[in-house]
Every structure is written in C-alpha cells, then in structure tokens.
Amino acid sequence: MASPIPLDQAEARGAKRDSPEAHIAVWPSMVARYKAEWPILSILEYDEVPRGRVIFDTATQTFIVYMDATLFAEPRLSLNVVREALSAAFQLHGQRVCFATDPHYCVDFWEEYDQAVFPHGR
C-alpha cells in the first residue's frame, strides 16, 4: 500500500521534502481501496500496520525511505522484495535511495499476531 505524491507537491521542511499527508488522514481511503485484497485492514488502525515515509533530501539528492523495523527483519519477506515493492510504488528506480528505520514507525502487531496464532511457537 502506498500513497505517493509528485515531488513538486511535497512540503519543504528545511532541505527535506515530505508529503503533506498524514497516515491517520489517508488511512480510511487506504482501507477502502485495499480491503478486498486484505480484509483484516478494516479492523486495524493505521498505526497497527507497518508503515513508513519517503523523504527527499535536496542537499544529497537522495530519497530516504523510512520504514518500520519489522520490514527489515520480517522472516516471511525478503528485504529485497520490500525494497523492490517500495521502489516501484514510489517510482524510485534509477534514483538515489537510502532505506532506514525510524522509531516513529514501529508496530508490535506481527509479534502479537504470531503469539495469537502460534501460542506455542512456530
């Protein structure tokens, strides 16, 4: 799931450019758009799903993709798959890109899910 915006519509924050959209504000439209594919979204809040943000650094001409640390460590996903999906969704192919974590984008949902589904471990 992604909500990319053109770079010329991004807000200037010093040398950085960022989407003016807040996750909490776009969440209802994202749920409506993707609930057929992922019905569980209708019972989750925006901060219960791994999320992140793409920031453009004008000083280094680099897109910084901040994402939930669980996406770096998720054993069911390859980091390359995550990077490729995000690069495609935000049209970052051929661009300078840095992937990073940020403590603001952190959920414990998958750990709680595993405990509920696999109470005795995997």
Print pLDDT tens along the chain (122 aa).
Answer: 889 999 999 999 999 999 999 999 999 999 999 999 999 999 999 888 888 999 999 999 999 999 988 887 766 767 788 889 999 999 999 999 999 988 888 776 555 555 555 666 55
In a domain? residue 45:
no
Rounded CA separation 83/78 (Å) = 9
Report the domain count for the chain. 1
In a domain? residue 67:
yes
Task: Domain of residue 76: give its range.
Answer: 15-20+51-117
Question: Which helix (H) or strand (E) segment is 117 a member of?
Answer: helix 109-117
In a domain? residue 3:
no
In a domain? residue 56:
yes
In a domain? residue 5:
no
In a domain? residue 57:
yes
Rounded CA separation 74/77 (Å) = 6
